[in-house]
A and B are shown apart, each in its own frame.
Chain A
């Protein structure tokens, strides 16, 4: 409603998660604001994937609360469905449906979930394939595409559902080096349109250019969060500095 402040796309309060006796997330607080571009980094096993996967209920949690677009995440089917509809997700391994063509990959959820008639679904799917600049691949099966193309299809598939925010879990980690750029460029273009995005990545050059805020995790906790200029030039925590020394040496 005009005048009223709209709820934050994501608000996470004191989130805690256990895998058995192992605490994977520990007291995580995080608010993602409208249009924000967040980059999450941290060593392997620090809980980055777990954190973003709890947001659309791909992982359960035991402590704290998550609100997505003002809706409190519970285990109720309608709530989970409503939240999954406002959250788009892109995976490291693409997870395209190999038995469907590229176009059908994008159109299937539109038909089944958004209840669009077949022609309208195909039309919208095509529009988003054009957006990620691979409309000419529409009739192929995913296995016939390069990794970078597959990941762009996965992005188009998520975008076609017209979510309010997008989550990316290491979208370029499974790609050959020469394909990383085409996917990161797609993300930058998306950011230019004001999409709210949280991206788990080790691409620090990209983070510098893309992010409003960079968040460093270790041992299931958020250790540091800052604007990229400050995060990279003047990190406050010793662990952040150690991590940055390692990943930047690689670059």
Chain B
């Protein structure tokens, strides 16, 4: 959170210059909307026995009052409750959107198990193995980039430049389709893992380099003066401290990787995305499968975020006063 001042700034929504135009815009938008598209509105209109422009206006006004009342209540809750309520309301809104798609829930129920038991398992497996490999690559890349060794520096620079500069999709194709040209045949899953690890390793090299560089020189000097070897200094003194800087952005990378692992579906790996596409095809139920897969991705991203927060707290502990 931004370091809070001891001044009660009026919340945005409580400022007339914000909420009056906002409600006015909402009112106008509802006025122009076709009531037939709004089952709720239609209900209100029918109950009032009103139609036409007047009914439309009344309905729009009613919705505006509801929205305003909602904001009024929201603004008077403690912060935690505000957050929770916003989540509930936005989730309901999202659900309402999905409901309006007229989905076949029977189809989703029938296919859910296959999506989870094969697709999700493969997705998680690919992501987990890739993040571990990327972590190792990034560590090596960062140490090479910070070294005085021109060969190591050159290799590391070339590596990060290439794998950050080429689209991940291309990397997957090149590893899967290109390597067999020189006699190296790679299965789909290893090819996908290789591409993901190399690509994310390149991004994470910069994160690791920044983390190592953020540790003050005095730490290196103290370790050296005590006789620690370069490897001991790095492992026992620098990296444990750098982890506090490295872990948060690495968590973001992991979440991004979870979703980018969907790209390996192009080489036919039976991960979540691939199954979502192929399972939907048979009965032209694409939306159902895509939405289900998306929700699974989202749920696991949330779980990763929670895990990341715990790890951050763990590494933050040492510096707590």
Residues of chain A touching chain B, judged by Cβ–Cβ distance below 8 Å, are 56-58, 81, 84-85, 87-89, 91, 93, 95-100, 108-109, 112-113, 141, 143-144, 154, 157-158, 161
Contact = CB atoms under 8 A, between A and B. Distances in A.
Given A84-B225, A161-B227, 10 more contacts: A81-B227, A89-B222, A91-B222, A95-B222, A97-B241, A98-B241, A98-B319, A112-B236, A113-B226, A144-B321
28 contacts: A58-B224, A58-B225, A84-B224, A87-B225, A88-B225, A89-B222, A91-B221, A93-B218, A95-B218, A95-B219, A95-B221, A95-B222, A97-B222, A97-B223, A97-B241, A99-B240, A99-B319, A109-B226, A109-B227, A109-B228, A112-B229, A112-B232, A112-B236, A113-B226, A143-B321, A157-B226, A158-B226, A161-B226
A97 B241 CA distance: 9
B143 to A, nearest CB: 18
A113 B228 contact: yes
Nearest to A82: B227
A120 to B, nearest CB: 17
B125 interface: no
A97 B228 contact: no
B97 interface: no
A154 B229 CA distance: 19
B58 interface: no
A113 B230 CA distance: 12
Contacts of A96: 222
B31 interface: no
Task: Tell which of A58, A89, A93, A97 has the most Cβ of chain B within 10 Å.
Answer: A97
Q: Which 6 A-B pairs have the closest CB atoms?
A: A95-B222, A95-B218, A109-B226, A89-B225, A113-B227, A99-B318
A99 B241 contact: yes
Contacts of B240: 99
A98 B218 contact: no
Contacts of A58: 221, 224-225
Contacts of A91: 218, 221-222
A156 B224 CA distance: 16
A84 B227 contact: yes
B74 interface: no
A85 B318 contact: no
Contacts of A99: 240-241, 318-319
A85 B224 CA distance: 10
Contact of B225 (A56, A93, A108): A56
Nearest to A154: B222
Contacts of B136: none
A87 B319 CA distance: 29
Contacts of B45: none
Interface string B250-292: 0000000000000000000000000000000000000000000
Nearest to A114: B227
A97 B221 contact: no
A207 B319 CA distance: 36
Contacts of A144: 321
A95 B222 CA distance: 6
B237 interface: yes
Contacts of A89: 222, 225
Interface string B202-214: 0000000000000
Given A113-B226, A157-B226, A158-B226, A97 B319 contact: no
Contacts of B227: 81, 84-85, 109, 113, 161
A200 to B, nearest CB: 15
The winner among A87, A89, A96, A109 for most chain B CB atoms within 10 A is A109
A152 to B, nearest CB: 15
Nearest to A83: B227
Contacts of A112: 228-229, 232, 236
A143 B223 CA distance: 18
B174 to A, nearest CB: 41
B221 to A, nearest CB: 6
A217 to B, nearest CB: 21
Given A56-B225, A113-B228, A161-B226, A97 B237 contact: yes
B238 to A, nearest CB: 10
B236 A108 contact: yes
Contacts of A56: 225
